[in-house]
Chains A and B, each alone.
Chain A
Amino acid sequence: MTGRVCGIYTAEVAAQEMMEGHECRLLANVGIEGDRYARRIGRWSDRPKTEHQISFIELEVLHQIYDETGVVLTPRETRRNIITCGVRLNDFLGQTIRVGKNALVYVEKLNHPCKYLERLIDKQVMASLLGRSGLNCQVISGGIVRLGDRIERVL
């Protein structure tokens, strides 16, 4: 199963509006260069956990939420780093995936939606994200990730 990277987002500090990019650099066991978690000033950085190094969500989920509830949740508002298309992310739990040419990422946890996001963006999305809120992952080996890059399981 192969997907594509269709959005790249980072933020410098907790609660900052995400900034959109064309590419980013993944740093092994750190996160995304310049992102709040790599800089250790994210919302959860006082309790550093490898699962916060990089996060993913499917673009298709955002479309489904719109179809089901009428709520427009934009990729930027999800506060996830990588927006994907063409792949079922939940199937990757517990596996290692390759993003772009070199970067390897271990899928540690299914993301659990939180009230914190609802308060930040002032949209009721927690309930509709349940079970499809994306992935929290650890960067196993670094590399550049660009828009359009492939995402696939490492066999």
Chain B
Amino acid sequence: MAVRLLMKVSVDQIVDEGGGIRSFYFRPEDRRQFPPVLPGAHTLLRVTKGMMRQYSLCAPPGDRRYRLAIRLDPAGRGGSRFMHESAHVGDIFYLSYPQPDFLLDPDRPSYSFFAGGVGITPMLSFLYALQGRTCRIRLCYFVRADGAVPFEQEIRALCPQVEIFNSAQGGRASFEDLLDGSRGDAIYCCGSAPFVAGVQGAAESLGLGTIQVESFVSGVKAGYLGEPFVVDLPRSRHVLDIPSDRSMLDVLLEDGVDIDYACEAGVCRSCIVDVIEGEIIHRDQCLTEDERRTVMTPCVSRGRGRIVINSI
């Protein structure tokens, strides 16, 4: 757990990184400096009311600003489109304190980093953190870029031995073959859910044990379907029917509940609500077993029959 408060910030600089990715640099508006960031941490960007999005923090160590790299996802839910089309230098936004979920073990002799697309951003912060250390680093960067490969110069300066696989230019490799050369390394992987699943599957089949992963949702959210159920909100005296083809989060939002959300995939903890009564079918990837006794993530999880929610 970490402090989840939002800080008022303004856009200080926008840099086109190629491949549909832009870096947004933010500076604080009502505090002297930002809280320190552990490598791999992310932040939640409040794009507009009710629209929170999760991004890795990847500013170089000497830069006191926060940097977020945002890839334009035209088929997405609108957060990246808003930032690419409507955000300008000087605009005010709100960013959460850093959320340290995907963290680097700093004392390993060798590392292998697997990055898919914009999943390169936490790896950038890892590379900065390991600068000047005597450890072996391997970086496999999978990308689709017709023009410049996003962040290539910056990466090469930090990790000249980077292996770039650009599918737009026929660059391919099998995860098994690559991972075979990473035995004994601390392995980290970040990218879209299918990319991460691919690397994880390959690591399992090679018997490499657990690898550290972080995935993000791209495109339109997956539909989390299931049995219909009923949500009782005693604090507001509303009783809502959740049909089988909609998420509980959707129905809560439609009912006008001011609830935070970001990933809509059960990974970011934004939408947590308290459960007073009823059986929950948990489908998140972020709660501990202990937490699951009293809370749920309505973006992906469902109830059986009737459930009673407290916090909204």
Contact = CB atoms under 8 A, between A and B. Distances in A.
Contact of A120 (B3, B258, B310): B3
B3 A43 contact: no
Nearest to A118: B1
A16 B274 contact: no
Interface residues of A, number: 21
Interface string B254-284: 0011101000000000001010000000000
Interface stretch (B5-13, B123-131, B157-165, B168-176): B5-13
B291 to A, nearest CB: 11
A120 B269 CA distance: 11
Contacts of B260: 14-15
A99 B96 CA distance: 33
Nearest to B255: A46
A130 interface: no
A46 B258 contact: yes
A13 interface: yes
Interface string A46-84: 110000000000000000000000000000000000000
A12 to B, nearest CB: 7
Interface string B36-56: 000000000010010000000
Contacts of B30: 17, 19
Contact of B258 (A16, A44, A119): A44
Interface in A83-118: 114-116
Contacts of B167: none
A9 B144 CA distance: 48
Contacts of A116: 311
A114 B96 CA distance: 20
Contacts of B236: 47
Contact of B49 (A13, A17, A44, A114): A13
Q: Give the bracket for the number of chain B residues in contact with chain A.
A: 20 to 34
Contacts, number: 54
Given A13-B49, A19-B30, A46 B257 contact: yes
Nearest to B269: A119
B2 interface: yes
Contacts of A14: 258, 260
B270 to A, nearest CB: 10
Interface in A1-22: 12-17, 19
B4 interface: yes
Contacts of B49: 13, 41
A44 B233 CA distance: 14
B94 interface: yes
B6 A17 contact: yes
A121 B5 contact: yes
B54 to A, nearest CB: 15
B274 A122 contact: no
Contacts of A29: none
A109 to B, nearest CB: 13
A47 B256 CA distance: 8
Interface of A: 12-17, 19, 41-47, 114-116, 119-122
Given A15-B5, A17-B8, A17-B30, 11 more contacts: A13-B6, A14-B258, A16-B6, A17-B6, A44-B258, A46-B258, A47-B256, A115-B274, A115-B311, A119-B4, A122-B3
Closest 9 CB pairs of A and B: A46-B256, A17-B5, A16-B6, A46-B258, A122-B3, A15-B6, A122-B1, A120-B4, A115-B274
5 contacts: A15-B4, A15-B46, A16-B6, A16-B94, A119-B4
